[in-house]
Structure 1
Amino acid sequence: MNNSTSSIITIGREYGSAGRQIGQEVAKYFGIKCYDKELLEHAANDSGICKELFENHDEKPTNSFLYSLVMDTYSFGYSSAGFTDMPMNHKVFLAQFEAIKKLAGEGPCVMVGRCADYALADNNNCFSVFIHADLDWRISRISGKYNKTLKEAKDMINKTDKSRASYYNYYTNKKWGSAAGYTLCLDSGKLGIEGAAQAIIQTVQVFDQCKQ
């Protein structure tokens, strides 16, 4: 079986579902890069905005009414003279949006989170995945990984999932985790990390064949 791909694979994920680890396994198989928090560094370097601001706003929602007004009137692409007058969360999102498109233009890769599927919605090579898992499975995994009590792990999961969903739903015209918005949805609790990675790999290979 051919170990190469022409696709950009985006991964949305529930917290604790091992989305990043699965993405890394897929990238390793295809011999391509996997961008997770690295996306923030690329966006910071390209935009000149300090990296700490990207980390502070990373997949966190905004309640800015001004932001929603700007979003209604501003088309994506932050080279406009008006960029300097925008709220910082808007600048951060746009810079990240542009970095995602730039990296996708450099060739096949895996991108984890940060609305990458939305940024690449018009890219025919984009294969979007959403990874979820049973709450108890995720609690057990996070508890063991970070040495937290089950209650602490559950609180971390609920808080992070709520933040990711709010961020995604706010900045895109889609609903976070809704199957209709993705090429493939997987349960890593049922399939395991290796099984989920293999399912993505095999489906991407079918996707690549269909594009030919």
Structure 2
Amino acid sequence: MGSNEIYTIGREFGSLGKQVGQELAKRLGIKFYDKELLQKAAKESGLCEEIFESHDEKPTNSFLYSLVMDTYTGGSYSTAPFLDMPLNHKVFLAQFDAIKKIAANESCVIVGRCADYALADEPHCLNIFIRSNMDDRIKRISERLNVPENKAKDIIKKKDKERSSYYNYYTSKKWGDARSYDLCLNTSQISVEDSIELILKYRECMRNHNK
């Protein structure tokens, strides 16, 4: 993958993780991928984009880990192993492939979709997790979605559970666990701008350490 610098961002719902990613990409002048990743995966796999949206970071009931580790090869959408998979498996692997291709071609910021797992062997990848205190998340989601705070809390719990189940099942790590990431930040304690400054400082320290 050369010297492309990749930033992956896992995030709690309502933590401003997407905003951190967007502003980081803007600051660095690189591409930002969130829903855009679904469009790319749909185009390359031949599956319609609506399928990716309906399965986006949603948990599944079953998945054969060996499909990723042993039988999967990038871009082999016309081969029997891919064609015979259940739909949710196809969606995950198409995203997995799209992430690896993006990282091979450009520096970028990728939000969610187990990107840190897909790029586990990429030495220039910085994996970040953004969290925030529940009260702050409730206020943000209540305002963003124009719903009562008790409803906002229910939405947050549901989204976090979906993301956690999806990540924990498809990877060998645990969603939100500091050991799964290089850097964890709490946006209840620091601003989006300060979060970006810390990420860039951490990247600079990584470069110096690896010289």
Aligned partner (choices 51, 60, 63) of residue 62 of structure 1: 60
Distance 1:86 1:11, change over 3 A: same
The question of whether the paired residues in 2 share the 8 Å contact of 1:33 and 1:110 is answered with: yes
* Aligned-partner residue type, residue 107 of structure 1: E
Matches of 1:86 and 1:105, distance apart in 2: 26
Give the superposition deviation at 1:69: 7.2
Matches of 2:198 and 2:85, distance apart in 1: 42
Distance 1:135 1:164, change over 3 A: same
Aligned to 1:162: 161
Aligned partner (choices 71, 75, 82) of residue 75 of structure 1: 71
Once the two structures are aligned, what percentage of the paired residues are identical? 53
Normalising by structure 2, report the TM-score: 0.92
Matches of 2:11 and 2:39, distance apart in 1: 20
* Aligned-partner residue type, residue 12 of structure 1: G
The question of whether the paired residues in 2 share the 8 Å contact of 1:130 and 1:177 is answered with: yes
| C-alpha RMSD of matched pairs (Å) | 1.7
Give deviations 1:166-208, integer Å, cap 9, x for gaps: 0000000000011011110000111122221221122122223
Matches of 1:174 and 1:40, distance apart in 2: 23
Unaligned runs of 5+ residues in structure 1 are none
Give deviations 1:145-171, integer Å, cap 9, x for gaps: 111110111011000000000000000
Matches of 1:205 and 1:21, distance apart in 2: 22
Normalising by structure 1, report the TM-score: 0.92
Matches of 2:184 and 2:55, distance apart in 1: 26
Aligned to 1:91: 90
Give the superposition deviation at 1:74: 4.5
* Aligned-partner residue type, residue 75 of structure 1: T
Give the superposition deviation at 1:7: 1.5
1:95-174 mapped onto 2 (5 Å cutoff)? 95-174=94-173
Unaligned runs of 5+ residues in structure 2 are none
